[in-house]
Amino acid sequence: MSNYLAGLAKERPKAFARLALDLEVLGAEGLRSQQITVRPLGDKLWELKRLYDGIQYRLFLGIWKEAVWLVHGIEKKSPKTPKNDLALARKRLREVMAR
């Protein structure tokens, strides 16, 4: 996940800043905030959605032990989220929960 964010910060700093702000809002206001779009994917996995400059960004996160864990991020290019990305996000969240 840190590689994705580092690359985004370097290649698209404005998009990175927008996503960072979304994460701040999430931390301050929680999942029910009206300023961000977050939807449940099941099994404690959530998807933060952001359209910025014509690109659909998705951050997959889990809520575990009163903390938000970023487990995966993508630039979505099709209407459906790729199954391999969902599987990877779920796998990473399970690893977090096993600690």
**pTM of the shown model:** 0.91
CA distance 35 to 37: 7
Q: What is the pLDDT of residues 31-73, one digit of tens each?
A: 999 999 999 999 899 999 999 999 999 999 998 888 899 999 9
CA distances 32 to 2, 26, 38, Å, are 25, 8, 8
CA distance 51 to 60: 15
Backbone Cα Rg of the chain: 13
Tokens of 14: 């404005």
Domain ranges of the chain: 2-97
